[in-house]
């Protein structure tokens, strides 16, 4: 029974788009909505938009365990705590 579920999950994941495709589409839409205006600080905007949900998702996945979250993200715990504070995910 578990094997069927794994196969179904694999098939479903093959049908879904990779994260970079979602990002490309979102950026294309962002540029279309600018109507010819030039964005400023786009790098910081994009990183901020991606980092916050990334850190939130990883913290949810680890049930708030910062050591595990830092390991998953490949950053040290101090950097993780700084980022979590900057996004108001911890106090």
Domains, the chain, ordered by start: 19-86 (1.10.10.60)
What is the C-alpha to C-alpha distance for residues 60 and 32, in angstroms, rounded to an integer? 34
Could you report the per-residue pLDDT of 16-32, keeping only the tens digit for each?
899 899 999 999 999 99
**Residues 31-90: tens digit of each pLDDT:** 999 988 998 999 999 998 999 999 999 999 999 999 999 999 999 999 999 999 999 999
CB neighbour class for 36 (10 Å; exposed up to 12, middle 13-18, buried from 19) = exposed
| pTM (2 d.p.) | 0.69
Tokens 């093959």 locate to: 14
């Amino acid at each position: 029974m578990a094997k069927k579920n794994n196969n179904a999950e694999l098939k479903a994941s093959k049908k879904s788009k990779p994260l970079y495709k979602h990002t490309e589409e979102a950026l294309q839409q962002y540029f279309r909505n600018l109507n010819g205006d030039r964005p400023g600080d786009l790098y910081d905007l994009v990183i901020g938009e991606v980092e916050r949900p990334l850190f939130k998702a990883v913290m949810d996945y680890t049930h708030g365990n910062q050591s595990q979250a830092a390991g998953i993200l490949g950053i040290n715990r101090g950097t993780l705590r700084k980022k979590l504070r900057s996004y108001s995910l911890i106090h």
